[in-house]
């Protein structure tokens, strides 16, 4: 007989939930601005930015920022839902990723009998490394037990889960703060976990995540079409170094402990007015996932310059597989006499340098935070991500050169 850990909610609610699968019909998807009764953040929705910023908007639709969360449907979900869609936890217990009419579910079966089924409501992750999914239960959000793992093209146990079928890992506001633009939190003293409005949220890391709520900005420029300076909006490229880094560090600065409610921080704010000051860790203790800032800050390139994340990245674009473009960014400093230049310049072609500069100096590493359990394996498999600790990795360089030869 299948057993599950208790929900954070009352047992009676679980029974109701088994019979009542939730949908996401009320999800705000940028059709209108959120009501924001509690904190008066006046979002306009990215679709209203397109009138003046069409090129940037259309580029952004392909970016990993935009794709980091979305309504779960056939267009956004990765993975097989027809044949290779089952994960066996043991000889009689499995979870299947299933399509039922126009909706998608994860269903637990014991001895072939369906025991518990929950819908894919929101997909989290662009799919470059993988995708996990979450579902609504009343005003709570929970993670589903299976994650699609891109590196091996299969369904796996979600990161951090054991070999128990578990549908009741609650999603916190801090998780959503990095994987969405906004969620109105409705948690109160009697809540068993973080609660959220089902009608007042914006999925994806959209324009207003980095530029601030835009309703006032849009209203002003509609009345003043000749205005050249952006009114009531934050431009990270024109902010101070600290402002630029704090904005990126909000989500790429590791496991920050908040001192004020999630989603309070706004672009241009000082990060540690909203989070506890953390202690710098040695690079060896920083995971390659989630703390790109920590790794970058330990690099000589960062310490010896005024660089920010924007020195290399354009947050509006999908920059995956653009090694040559990053090489150009490196060259802005490393072609001058005051900076070290590549020691291989005289022995390999320019094209080789362009395609391998990042591979040599920011190689992919295994994450200890993003690890999944694959079928028939007991040791978790890591996702691999580019290190943001810029350095000379002699072993990596020699390996790349040996392949070339």
Give the pLDDT confidence of 286-336 residue by residue, as tens digits: 999 999 999 999 999 999 999 999 999 999 999 888 888 888 889 888 876
- Determine the average pLDDT of the residues in 49-70: 96
- Determine the average pLDDT of the residues in 199-215: 97
- Determine the average pLDDT of the residues in 137-148: 97
pLDDT surpasses 50 at 27: no
Nearest to 219 by CA among 361, 52, 103: 52
pLDDT confidence tier of residue 36, bands split at 50, 70 and 90: very low
User: CA 372: distance to chain centroid?
Assistant: 17
pLDDT of residue 279: 82
pTM of the model: 0.87
- Mean pLDDT in the chain? 87
pLDDT surpasses 90 at 152: yes
Q: Return d(Cα 73, Cα 18) in angstroms, integer.
A: 21
Give the pLDDT confidence of 323-373 residue by residue, as tens digits: 888 888 898 888 767 677 887 877 888 888 888 889 899 999 999 999 999
- Are 370 and 382 spatial neighbours (Cβ–Cβ below 8 Å)? yes
pLDDT of residue 165: 94
Token pair, residue 376, equals 């028939």
Annotate 345-400 with DSSP letters as a single string.
TTTS-HHHHHHHHHHHHS-EEEEEEEEEBPTT-SSPEEEEEE-------HHHHHHH
pLDDT surpasses 60 at 22: no
């Amino acid at each position: 007989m299948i057993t599950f850990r208790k929900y954070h909610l009352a047992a009676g609610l679980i029974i109701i939930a088994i019979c009542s699968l939730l949908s996401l019909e009320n999800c705000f998807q940028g059709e209108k601005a959120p009501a924001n009764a509690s904190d008066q953040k006046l979002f306009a929705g990215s679709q209203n930015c397109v009138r003046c910023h069409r090129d940037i908007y259309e580029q952004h639709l392909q970016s990993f920022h935009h794709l980091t969360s979305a309504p779960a449907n056939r267009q956004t979900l990765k993975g097989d839902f027809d044949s290779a869609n089952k994960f066996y936890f043991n000889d009689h217990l499995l979870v299947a990723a299933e399509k039922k009419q126009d909706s998608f579910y994860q269903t637990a079966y014991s001895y072939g009998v369906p025991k518990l089924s929950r819908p894919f409501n929101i997909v989290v992750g662009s799919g470059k490394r993988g995708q996990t999914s979450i579902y609504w239960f009343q005003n709570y959000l929970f993670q589903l037990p299976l994650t699609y793992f891109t590196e091996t093209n299969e369904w796996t146990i979600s990161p951090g889960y054991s070999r128990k079928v578990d549908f009741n890992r609650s999603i916190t506001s801090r998780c959503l703060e990095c994987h969405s633009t906004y969620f109105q939190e409705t948690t109160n003293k009697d809540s068993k976990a973080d609660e959220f409005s089902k009608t007042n949220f914006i999925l994806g890391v959209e324009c207003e995540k980095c530029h601030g709520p835009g309703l006032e900005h849009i209203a002003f420029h509609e009345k003043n079409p000749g205005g050249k300076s952006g009114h009531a909006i934050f431009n990270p490229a024109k902010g101070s170094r600290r402002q630029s880094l704090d904005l990126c560090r909000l989500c790429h600065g590791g496991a920050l402990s908040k001192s004020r409610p999630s989603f309070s921080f706004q672009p241009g704010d000082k990060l540690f007015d909203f989070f506890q000051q953390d202690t710098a860790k040695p690079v060896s203790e920083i995971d390659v996932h989630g703390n790109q800032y920590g790794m970058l800050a330990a690099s000589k390139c960062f310490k010896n310059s005024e660089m920010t994340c924007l020195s290399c990245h354009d947050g509006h674009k999908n920059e995956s597989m653009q090694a040559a473009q990053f090489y150009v960014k490196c060259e802005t400093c490393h072609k001058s006499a005051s900076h070290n230049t590549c020691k291989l310049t005289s022995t390999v072609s320019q094209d080789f340098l362009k395609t391998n500069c990042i591979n040599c100096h920011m190689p992919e590493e295994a994450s200890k935070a993003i690890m999944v359990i694959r079928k028939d394996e007991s040791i978790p498999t890591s996702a691999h991500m580019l290190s943001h600790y810029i350095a000379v990795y002699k072993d990596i360089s020699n390996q790349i050169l040996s392949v070339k030869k």
